[in-house]
Every structure is written in structure tokens, then in C-alpha cells.
């Protein structure tokens, strides 16, 4: 039991650097990295395609989780990326004095491994000789002899039935044998020979009896990669195994190849691309020697200790520390500063050409991305509108990469047809939403530029605010204010994850704010704007349930001299204006129709289009119209709000929704009229607090005397 616990502890210590960060990979993608409690890091691997070469192939036998070297079938105890492999090797046993006895000779042959000459000992127990010969080098042989006159518990030397000898170097083909010379009446009748890791064997008197049952001991093997030294395996060759950019190569001390390690300040698996990750020394006081931990600043591959204001020094415990800065520098300090400045100027002079070339390269790359991402299209559109892009902040690619933790999947807060939205935190701790276009989809570039043009000229509290953009990356990025409370669709449709019910008062407030924003877009903006995709999923809610219209990728600017545009039909089924769908003529009344569907969703709590309903009622508009025709409007109201709502408000909102949903656009009200009517409903005090069991709704239709009653 004690040996097993020690093995598990060593396994943990060997691989602790790799497991310190959840973002560091141990094995190749889609490959197993554990067999029971044993970690299997690349270049070792379980299964085809998961290891560097056949020599590193291991097999995990189920159900006992026994890890074996596939080449030799030797059990593996642990694997270390430091170039060590702990295995279990058998014991050679000789009780009759003949090498033909079964078990008296144990042989192993390794292609990429050698027994560690400093971590193992050849051990003999009994009265005889234990020997080890390297099959690959016949002259490379060691022996140890025991004597039968002393027994000392816990010790092992040449005079007490136990002997140990140090290992030869470069031993890959092993032949371990035991020779028995015990007398017939000797205390022991058997001799045992075996390899064992230093400190893993302690001699006991009972070990020299023929009933000794120990069959194997842990042995440390050195492993390496490649067929030559570091200077031979050039880094530009495909066979070079140190794949991480932050890795270094070291020649093996006990083999013909080399081993890879992460550079100082990094940890992980150097045999994988991006396998070595920066260590944040400032998170662990034991990794840095700063006098004050709050003044430790992490850097890529290292860290710095910053002295408080008014002090100078390196801020380190074993350095100059931090001392008060004198008011007047002495002559020596002036000379030192002058020398440093002179050297810096000289270095800057020599490096100016290099940095000029680097800046030119970076400039060309950014110019390429800028052109591909529609930067010139944006400039052309802005010039046509006599506007400047200075109103919108331009973010750097590095700034947004840091804000989203390199666009980690845990930062994704939404995905749609135009791209993916990430949550980001800027250096000033401002939380933003970053919209990233789909890679390789050129059609999305125009939509992003269109959304940038539309949002950059909008200033309304109920329209999501555009903070800036970034066009110097592989795909364009838009940066918005972050809205904390999700979208309206989740709140009124997803009852499982949103147990809190939005009250009717709040729903009416949301409807009023949406109508106000659309009215602004249609009539108060510098150039009229048609959203073209109004739906609950595009209406965001902040912590106070204030509505924010988002997703302007499908929107269109309407010149002042035109009342409609002929465009390709864009929108979402269930919200799409039927007149626009049939004629392709886009007007502001298309948004009115979509808003009418949103009103029905607020009233009923049901989705605009659902295939779980009857075929004749899949569209909420049809279902609503059917309920009205059968005098069953109460059946379609959301039961979560109908019991405590305001009956007259339900009636008037339903009336307004039906007007917005008329087939002919010219018969629908404008969004300004809708906003005024909804605002009047909110301000009207005589409709609050009333309840009744009988409600009459009157709707304008082609027949002036048509009345629906429930």
C-alpha cells in the first residue's frame, strides 16, 4: 500500500506543471490522456495516431487500467515530460544454480529507452551473484556478489546477503541473471537479481528465503526523441519534435537523441503546438521574489516587480529592493544614466532599420485585412453621406483579443446568421459585447459595414449603442454596449430557465419603448432607417428591463426622396411582412407588421411560429385571428398575466396589434402613431386595477360594424 501511494504521488509531481492550467493540453486532440490515475502525455499516446512513434505507443488494459508499453508489454507506473519513465521489471530468481532454470534470466529490449544510470541500482539478494549485461554492448556488463555470513536489517552491501552496483550508461538491451552458489545447509537456498529504483528497496532478513514472493520492482528509464542531437535536428525540419514556440532542446545524457522542455517562465507540453503556456508568477508568491505582491506585474515568459511611486529599485527581495528616490542625483548616477541613455540611443540607431521593415510588414497586413473587411467600402459610404468615422472608436486587434481571452468559447453569449457575439472586458473594466463575422463568408462583410453605418448615426436610449469597430483583423469586429438581461424571447418563451414572469406592466413598458425606438428610426433619424428584422430575439433587456433594439445587419437606409425600396427579401419567418414578401417593396410599414407580431407574443406568451401547434394555427397571427373569430380571445392570453392584468389595456393593445397586422401596408398605422397610443395607455390611470369576467373587444376591419366578444 505504501509503494502504491508513493507511485501516485510521484505521478502527480511529475505532471503538476501541466495540470496547473485548464487551458494546457496534455495529449493530441481527440486522444485519451489518462489510464486510471496515470497521465499519458504526448509524445506517448493511447491508440493509433496518438503517439509520435511506435516506441511511445502504450496500451490501457481494461478493466484494471493496467498501462503497458506496446512494444515490450512492460507495465508503466508513471510518465514524466522531464524524460523519465517509471516501469515495473521482473525479478530474476535462481534456486538450483543453473541458468536454465525458468526465471533465472530476464531480458528486455528498448528502442527509445535506456535504464537510468543514476536512478537505479542492480541488486542481488541471497548467496550468489547478480549480473546485468547490455545486449547492445557486450562489454557493458556489471555484477555484484553476496556473502552468507552476515544479515543486517535495512542495509545492503557486499557482506550481508545483499549487494548493489551502479548502472552502466546507454543500456537499452538488458539481460539480468542470478547465479546461485548457496551451500545445501546454508540459510538461503536461492539467489535473486533485479533492477530497482534508488530508495525503493530495503533489505529484510525474510528476503533471502525461498518463499520470497516479490516478482517486480519499479525501475526508471530515460527516454528521448529524435535520432540525433539538438544541433543536428534543425528546427526547420518536420521531424523536429519541439513543436511549441516557447520550447528549448537539450541533448539526452543517456541516449542518442534529445528532450524538449518549456522555456523559463512557461509550462506545459513542449511537444505540442502552443503546448507551453505563460506562467503567471504573480498569482503564486512562491514563484516570484517581489517585496510587495501587489506590485508584481506578469509579463510574457517572466514578471517584473514595480516599486511604489516615489521609490526606485528592482523591487526584489534578493535585489536592490525599493529605496526612496533622492531629490538630487549624485555624479555616479548621472554617469550611469548617461551611459545607459547612450547605449539605448546606439541600439535604437542600429535597430531602426529592422523596426522600419517590421512596421511596413505589419502595415501591409493590416491594410490587406482592412480592404478585405470592407474598410474602403465603409469610407465610400461615409463620403456619400458626408459623415466621418471619428464618431466611432477604432479598437486594436490585440485589445479585443485580450478582452475576450482570445475569443474563448466560454465568452460566447450569442450566435446567429451574421456571426458570433462574445462578452469582453476592456482595460478600463468596461464590459462590452463584441460581434465577430463568420470567417470566410464574404457576404457577411457588407452586412457588417451596413450595421456599422446604421448604428453609428443612431442615438436613442432604446437602441443598442455601437461603441466602435475593428477592421484590421481577419474578420471584422463590432463593439457594442453590453446588455445584461438577455433577450425578450428567452423571458417570455423559455419558462424552464426563466421562472420569473415579466408582469403585464413591464411588458407594456417594453412594447412602448420598442415602438418609440422604431418611430425614431423611421422619422427622427438623420436618414430614415428600416430595421427589417424586428423580433423578440433582437430585443435585448437590461437589468431594469429597459428594451434595446439590436442586430441591424439586415437594416436599410431610406433616402429622403424615396418612400420604398426594392430589395431582396430578408427577415425571419413568422415576423415577415406578407406584402413585402410578395412584392419585394420594402417600406417602414414592414417594421410595423413585425412589431404587431411582437405585441401578440407579449399578450399570449407564445412564439410567432410553432410547429407544435395545429397546422392551421402554426402562425400566431392565424391563431389569434381564429380565437377572435370564435369569441375565445381570453384563451390565447398568457395565463401568467391575464389574472392580474388590466382588461381594458388587453383590449386596446389587441386592437392596436390587429391594426398593425393588416395585409395592406397603407392601412397600418405608423410607428409614431403606435408609440403615441401605447404611451397613452401607460399614462392612463383609469384603466389600471380594473377586472371583469366579460370583455368586449372592437376591432377595425373591412366591416365597420364587426365586433368580437369573449
Could you list the active site residues?
Answer: 533
* Cell numbers placing 590: 414592414
Contact 549, 517 (CB under 8 A): yes
- Cell 542492480 locates to 122
- Dump the DSSP string for 317-367: TTS---EEPPSS--HHHHHHHHHHHHHHHHHHHHHHHHHHHHHHHHHHHHH
Q: Where are the beta strands (DSSP E) in 181-257?
A: 191-197, 216-223, 247-251
Residue with cell 438581461: 485
How distant, in Å, are the alpha carbons of 132, 504, 512, 634 from that of 643?
A: 90, 10, 22, 11
C-alpha cell at 112: 527509445
CA dist 660 and 674 (Å) reads 9
The burial of 695, by beta-carbon neighbours within 10 Å (0-12 exposed, 13-18 middle, 19 or more buried), is given as middle
310, 325 contact by CB (below 8 A) = yes
| DSSP output for 618-671 | SBHHHHHHHHHHTT-HHHHS-HHHHTTS-HHHHHHHHHHHHHHT-SSGGGSPPH
Q: How many residues does the chain have?
A: 710
Q: How many CB atoms lie within 10 A of CB 494?
A: 10
How far is the C-alpha of 52 from the C-alpha of 49, rounded, in Å? 8
Amino acid at each position: 500500500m505504501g509503494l502504491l501511494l508513493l507511485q501516485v504521488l510521484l505521478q502527480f509531481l511529475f505532471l503538476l506543471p501541466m495540470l496547473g492550467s485548464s487551458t494546457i493540453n496534455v495529449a493530441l486532440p481527440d486522444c485519451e490522456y489518462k489510464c486510471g490515475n496515470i497521465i499519458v502525455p504526448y509524445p506517448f499516446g493511447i491508440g493509433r495516431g496518438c503517439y509520435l512513434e511506435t516506441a511511445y505507443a502504450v496500451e490501457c488494459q481494461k478493466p484494471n487500467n493496467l498501462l503497458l508499453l506496446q512494444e515490450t508489454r512492460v507495465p508503466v507506473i508513471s510518465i514524466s515530460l522531464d524524460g523519465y519513465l517509471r516501469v515495473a521489471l521482473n525479478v530474476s530468481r535462481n534456486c538450483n544454480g543453473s541458468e536454465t532454470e525458468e526465471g533465472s534470466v530476464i531480458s528486455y529490449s528498448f528502442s527509445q529507452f535506456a535504464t537510468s544510470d543514476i536512478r537505479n541500482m542492480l541488486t542481488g539478494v541471497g548467496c550468489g551473484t547478480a549480473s546485468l549485461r547490455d545486449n547492445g554492448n557486450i562489454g557493458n556488463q556489471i555484477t555484484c556478489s553476496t556473502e552468507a555470513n552476515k544479515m543486517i536489517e535495512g542495509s545492503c552491501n557486499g557482506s550481508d546477503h545483499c549487494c548493489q552496483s551502479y548502472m552502466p550508461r546507454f543500456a537499452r538491451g538488458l539481460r539480468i541473471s542470478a547465479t546461485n552458489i548457496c551451500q545445501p545447509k546454508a540459510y538461503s537456498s536461492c539467489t535473486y537479481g533485479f533492477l530497482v529504483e534508488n530508495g525503493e528497496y530495503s533489505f529484510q532478513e525474510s528476503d533471502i528465503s525461498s518463499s520470497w514472493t516479490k516478482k517486480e520492482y519499479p525501475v526508471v528509464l530515460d527516454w528521448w526523441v529524435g535520432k540525433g542531437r539538438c544541433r543536428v535536428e534543425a528546427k526547420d525540419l518536420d521531424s523536429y519534435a519541439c513543436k511549441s514556440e516557447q520550447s528549448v532542446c537539450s541533448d539526452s545524457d543517456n541516449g542518442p537523441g534529445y528532450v524538449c522542455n518549456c522555456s523559463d517562465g512557461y509550462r506545459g507540453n513542449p511537444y505540442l503546438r502552443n503546448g507551453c503556456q505563460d506562467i503567471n508568477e504573480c498569482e503564486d508568491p512562491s514563484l516570484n521574489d517581489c517585496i510587495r505582491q501587489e506590485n508584481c506585474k506578469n509579463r510574457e515568459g517572466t514578471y517584473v516587480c514595480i516599486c511604489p511611486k516615489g521609490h526606485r529599485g528592482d523591487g526584489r527581495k534578493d535585489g536592490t529592493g525599493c529605496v526612496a528616490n533622492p531629490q538630487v542625483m549624485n555624479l555616479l548616477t548621472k554617469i550611469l544614466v548617461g551611459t545607459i541613455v547612450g547605449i539605448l540611443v546606439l541600439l535604437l540607431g542600429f535597430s531602426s532599420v529592422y523596426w522600419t521593415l517590421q512596421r511596413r510588414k505589419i502595415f501591409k497586413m493590416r491594410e490587406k485585412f482592412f480592404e478585405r473587411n470592407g474598410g474602403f467600402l465603409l469610407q465610400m459610404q461615409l463620403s456619400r453621406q458626408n459623415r466621418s468615422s471619428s464618431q466611432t472608436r477604432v479598437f486594436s486587434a490585440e485589445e479585443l483579443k485580450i478582452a475576450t481571452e482570445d475569443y474563448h468559447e466560454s465568452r460566447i453569449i450569442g450566435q446567429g446568421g451574421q456571426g458570433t457575439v462574445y462578452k469582453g472586458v476592456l482595460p478600463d473594466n468596461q464590459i462590452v459585447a463584441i460581434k465577430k463575422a463568420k470567417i470566410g463568408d464574404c457576404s457577411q462583410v457588407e452586412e457588417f459595414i451596413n450595421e456599422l453605418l446604421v448604428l453609428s448615426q443612431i442615438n436613442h436610449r432604446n437602441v443598442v449603442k455601437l461603441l466602435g469597430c475593428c477592421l484590421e483583423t481577419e474578420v471584422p469586429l463590432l463593439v457594442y454596449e453590453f446588455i445584461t438581461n438577455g433577450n425578450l424571447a428567452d423571458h417570455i418563451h423559455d419558462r424552464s430557465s426563466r421562472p420569473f414572469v415579466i408582469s403585464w406592466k413591464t411588458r407594456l413598458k417594453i412594447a412602448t419603448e420598442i415602438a418609440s425606438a422604431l418611430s425614431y428610426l423611421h422619422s427622427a433619424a438623420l436618414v430614415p432607417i428600416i430595421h427589417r428584422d424586428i423580433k423578440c430575439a433582437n430585443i435585448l433587456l437590461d437589468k431594469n428591463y429597459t428594451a434595446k433594439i439590436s442586430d441591424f445587419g439586415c437594416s436599410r437606409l431610406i433616402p429622403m426622396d424615396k418612400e420604398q425600396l426594392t430589395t431582396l427579401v430578408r427577415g425571419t419567418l413568422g415576423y415577415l411582412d406578407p406584402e413585402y414578401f410578395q412584392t419585394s417593396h420594402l417600406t417602414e410599414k414592414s417594421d410595423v407588421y413585425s412589431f404587431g407580431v411582437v405585441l401578440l407574443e407579449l399578450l399570449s406568451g407564445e412564439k410567432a411560429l410553432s410547429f407544435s401547434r395545429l397546422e392551421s394555427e402554426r402562425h400566431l397571427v392565424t391563431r389569434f385571428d381564429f380565437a377572435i373569430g370564435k369569441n375565445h380571445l381570453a384563451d390565447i392570453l398568457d395565463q401568467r398575466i391575464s389574472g392580474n392584468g388590466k382588461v381594458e389595456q388587453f383590449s386596446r393593445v389587441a386592437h392596436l396589434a390587429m391594426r398593425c397586422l393588416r395585409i395592406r401596408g397603407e392601412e397600418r398605422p405608423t410607428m409614431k402613431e403606435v408609440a403615441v397610443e401605447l404611451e397613452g395607455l401607460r399614462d392612463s390611470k383609469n384603466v389600471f386595477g380594473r377586472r371583469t369576467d366579460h370583455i368586449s373587444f372592437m376591432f377595425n376591419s373591412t366591416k365597420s360594424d364587426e365586433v368580437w366578444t369573449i
